[in-house]
Amino acid sequence: MVTWPGDFASRVEALALLETLNADLLSHDSATLTLERWCGAHALAPQARIVAERVADAQAPLPAEAREQLQIGADEPVRYRRVQLRCGGHVLSEADNWYVPARLTADMNAALEHSDVPFGKVVAPLHFRRRTLSAELLWSPLPAGWEMQRGAPPAGTGGPLVVPAHVLQHRAVLYDQAQRPFAALVETYTAQVLAFPPPRPR
């Protein structure tokens, strides 16, 4: 993991990058393709290719509101898939996917069950659109209200910037061309999205 300095300028840069990634994710339907572009633009791997590593035997209950969001009855089967989206040696995102198998093709269901292909690539033939329910910055490099402080900017720690494991989280629902919701997602982005040298020379 690349270490960023903890000075004020580096904190501003880190915040700007996180907000840029957040805006990019919000403006595109496929988080997978957005992460591939991010990986390539910041040289995180020799080849900017996202691989979804399935977490074996992972289980999580369907969120209470998800059946209403997916417009399904109490008895409609829903499958769960948890993956880590990796580019090279960096896990950029951890994704929880609940999806309605009856609204996907047999080939799509098989791929989701037995392959490491990212969810967005598997369901791409549906020409889906994404409705983001929430986008939360889980960490800010700068304290709340820093922009209202007069005089000197907030002091850094004097050491490296300590970035927590998770920095950003999105919740979303995917819809097919017939406007039927078929998947509910929780995507949690990791500190590895900043695993490249700071933009300014030191």
Count Cα neighbours of 197 within 13 Å in the Cβ-side half-sphere.
4
Q: For all residues of the chain together, what is the average pLDDT? A: 90
CA-based R_g, the chain, Å: 19
Query: What are the structure tokens assigned to 169, written together?
Result: 């989280």
pLDDT value, residue 157: 54
Sign of CA dihedral 195, 197, 198, 202: positive
Q: What percent of the chain has pLDDT over 70?
A: 92
Write out the E strands in the chain: 50-54, 79-87, 90-99, 129-137, 166-175, 181-190
Q: Which of 185, 56, 189, 35 is nearest to 123 (CA)?
A: 185
pTM: 0.87
Structural domains in the chain plus CATH codes: 8-141+162-194 (3.40.1410.10)
- pLDDT of 153 above 70: no
pLDDT digits (tens, 9 = 90+) for 42-99: 999 999 999 889 888 888 888 889 999 999 999 999 999 999 999 999 999 999 999 9
Rounded-to-integer distance, Cα 83 and Cα 96, Å: 7
